[in-house]
Structure 1
Amino acid sequence: MAAKTKPSPPLTAEMPVAAAIRAILRHNLEAMLAHQELARDGADIEGVHQMRVALRRMRSALSLFRAVLDRAQALAWREQMRELAGQLGRARDLDVFIDEGLADTAGKLPLSGEAALRELALARRAQVYASEVRPMLESDSYRHFCAEFPRWIEQGIEVTEPKPNPEIGSETGSQTGFGTGVETGPHRARGKGARKLARPILASARKLLDKQERRVLDAGTAVNRHDAPAMHQLRIECKKLRYAAEFFRPLFTDMGEFIRCMKGIQDLLGVMNDLALTQGLLDDLLSNTPEDRDLQRFAGALIGWRSYHFHRLLEDFDNRWEALVAARRPWWD
């Protein structure tokens, strides 16, 4: 499943780190909100997809900048976003299964059962949108997130100079977001933390990209291609590097070329993930039709088809990995 290049937040090289964090979070929050009605309607699968991507990107940004953020607040927001994205997960899995898995084999397998399986999947998709997606969008948790997280973006990352009186804590105190469990009052970074937040983003971006690149290299160098957990971890680290590269794309020339190079390995790892999900989806869809032999045979053939496609791609893993390793790092210039 090919990944699409996302628009980048409006960063400039001289922008302070604190302002850059706010710009990145604000940019992706706006993307999430822009797709919530599409997700609610369900007619366009990009609604749920783009909401989940935006939530993952915001979680990744909080993780990327964790050294300069209030640890407890950032962790609480990341956990809340993980839960929200998780509630959209089954809908997204079914969307991919129908739009890509079934579409890929349409009319290609000489077996009956294709139409019946598609009907089952569409019915389950409608059920999941009604029982999981729309209730999530109407939940107190989501409404409170939409109210409190923007406030935290604007007020929760604040730079101040150290105060001479150590007895003075937070001058304004913390305000707890209603129903969120997340403290949304200002986090006033002091001393070393304040200096880091006040520095221009360019040098920090280089260090953060280097750090995440090392994580990718550690996960992928000499990886056992048949070790599913290891390949899954590589997929996660590649995704984090991709997000970081997109966050900082405006700061470096030709970052787009590096991102395009990453797609080669990400496409392969994405197919691997889709294949793992397909087996579970089929088990769920066919759990109430054990006697339908046509459906069972077609499902088995579908798994075989997708497995063959993945293993053909896997033969090119070394080439794709070497291309990524050799790709020019624009942030090194």
Structure 2
Amino acid sequence: MHISQPLHHVVGRDIVLDEPLAGLRDAERAVVACLIMFHRKKVRPDLEPAFLRLGRRNQVLVLRLAALLRIADGLDYSQNQMTQIADWEGDSDDQRSTLYISGAGAEENARRAAKKADLWQDVGFGKMQIVALEHADMPPAPEATPEPDESSHALAREDVGGYRVSVAASDGLAVMGRRLLRSYFRQMLQEERGVRSDDSVEPIHQMRVATRRLRAILQIIRIVAPEREVRYFRRELQQLARALAPVRDADVFLEAVQDYATNRPEPAAPELGMLLDALHTDRDAAYARALAYLDSERHARFKHDFATFMTDPGEGWQPAVRVRDAAGSIIWQHYEGLRAYEERIDLETALEPQIETLHETRIAGKRLRYVLEMFGDVNDMATPVERVLKPLVATQEYLGSLQDIAVATHYIAALEAQHGTLHTDVASYQGYRQSAQAGLLEEFPRRWSRLLSEPYRRDLAQVLVLL
């Protein structure tokens, strides 16, 4: 069993969700999982799959129980179990209450419990004051183990993203898959907040990355997961990514045009400003469509259903298949999927007409990358996995630059078809991008041969040996 002190609440949550608990129904087990998750640090119910799968009544129950549990946890911050509740006073008129405690370490425990009473107030119980009574004859409490500082508001809106899932080769593939789904689903939900606020272009990008990783995980665990559900969720994630794609394409193109306009030797002509205006208009329209999708009943239903899927190891799952039973063949099959493009890419002819094939190659490379990253934390595989990831990621990013140029070329061609001959400044920008494309294409044979080489395959085989 993997124990992580900083993430012990996550580990505990995962144990409850992945192991049968006698006498508890699925929803009740999800309630327990939420209480474990919410007793520590900031409470983020809208990011927790176990919470999202619950009905409204159980969600209210979870928050109320968590409010009590957080105070109780603070009352034993000194971990000596000597705190006693001496008295309690409540005022129903102004919704204020005071809890009096005594015992060794009561003063420190009172401070901690008062800090963790944030959720008590957030769920509508009113303000809680906790007072430590003085007892001169009480022995001093042992020094408490410090914890990271937490926000004064329990229902916080900040987060650090997904967390790493540590597994062993002997763990079940289904268990690892569900834990990875919970991690990246949490990250996707966090990025959705940023997409809605639209303060930065990065959340759109990272949310799309999260959807791709989730689809990759579903594809990997399809041999141990219910087939119909896997197909459904992969389809929904693909639809979500498509809803966000036009916004991301516009963001990338806008950044490139703005960079070109800023770094030109002479000021950009007004006509280039017209290109920027067109991009901003299209971006605004694409963003409005993306928001409409995020606000749709379809998306809300998907999030609830997906949360249930990854927190309920019910019928259709195959728990007996271990990571080491399948990881090797999964990794090598994805490499074979990438290497198959060796027959489709003709290095003896011009590569520009083969841009679409290069884009498909990039997608195959992404799939291999996600698989390697998924299994990268198994045992002590970080170093050998990093050795094969480094050239793969570099090639993927390089091919991404080519794809960005292809998107820009198609956009400008569409503008020309709509408005007729474009201003020479736009044509100059188009020539600039095409020149950059030619330079990038010259690099492809060298990068591609590295991924097809015998040393690379040997490094990849070493990863399989460690399983």
TM range (shorter): 0.7 to 0.9
Shift of the alpha carbon at 1:152? Answer: 0.7
Q: Which amino acid aligns with 1:13?
A: A
1:242 aligns with one of 356, 360, 369 = 369
Which whole-Å CA distance do the structure 2 matches of 1:109 and 1:268 have between them? 26
Q: Which amino acid aligns with 1:36?
A: E
2:432 aligns with one of 305, 310, 313 = 305
Partner of 2:387: 257
The alignment status of 1:118 with 2:288, answered yes or no, reads no
Closer/same/farther in 2, CA of residues 125 and 287 from structure 1, 3 Å limit? farther
Partner of 1:271: 401
Superposed CA offset, 1:55-96 (max 9, x none): 111112212232332222211111111111111111010011
TM-score (norm 2): 0.57
Moved over 4 A (4+): 283-291
Closer/same/farther in 2, CA of residues 332 and 221 from structure 1, 3 Å limit? farther
The alignment status of 1:152 with 2:309, answered yes or no, reads yes
TM-score (norm 1): 0.79
Closer/same/farther in 2, CA of residues 123 and 188 from structure 1, 3 Å limit? closer
> How many residue pairs end up in the alignment?
289
Partner of 1:168: none
Which whole-Å CA distance do the structure 1 matches of 2:356 and 2:275 have between them? 29
Structure 2 SS opposite 1:250:
coil
Structure 1 SS opposite 2:382:
coil
Aligned pairs (5 A) from 1:1-333: 8-104=164-260, 106-108=262-264, 112=269, 113-129=271-287, 131-155=288-312, 158=313, 186-189=314-317, 194=318, 197-220=319-342, 223-224=345-346, 225=351, 226-251=353-378, 252-254=381-383, 255-283=385-413, 289-290=419-420, 293-294=422-423, 297-325=424-452, 326-327=455-456, 328-329=459-460, 330-333=462-465
Which whole-Å CA distance do the structure 2 matches of 1:70 and 1:242 have between them? 24
Closer/same/farther in 2, CA of residues 141 and 323 from structure 1, 3 Å limit? same
Closer/same/farther in 2, CA of residues 307 and 105 from structure 1, 3 Å limit? farther
Q: Which moved more, 1:12-21 or 1:275-284?
A: 275-284
Superposed CA offset, 1:266-323 (max 9, x none): 12211221122112333455676547x53xx233222221222122111111211222
Unaligned runs of 5+ in 2: 1-161
Unaligned runs of 5+ in 1: 1-5, 159-185
Closer/same/farther in 2, CA of residues 305 and 152 from structure 1, 3 Å limit? same
Which whole-Å CA distance do the structure 1 matches of 2:258 and 2:205 have between them? 18
Choose 1 or 2 for highest CA Rg: 2
CA contact (8 A) 1:8 1:247 kept: no
Which whole-Å CA distance do the structure 2 matches of 1:272 and 1:8 have between them? 31
Superposed CA offset, 1:135-194 (max 9, x none): 122111111111110101122xx4xxxxxxxxxxxxxxxxxxxxxxxxxxx3334xxxx3
CA contact (8 A) 1:88 1:133 kept: yes
Closer/same/farther in 2, CA of residues 207 and 219 from structure 1, 3 Å limit? same
Shift of the alpha carbon at 1:12? Answer: 2.8
Partner of 2:144: none
Percent identity, aligned pairs only, is 22
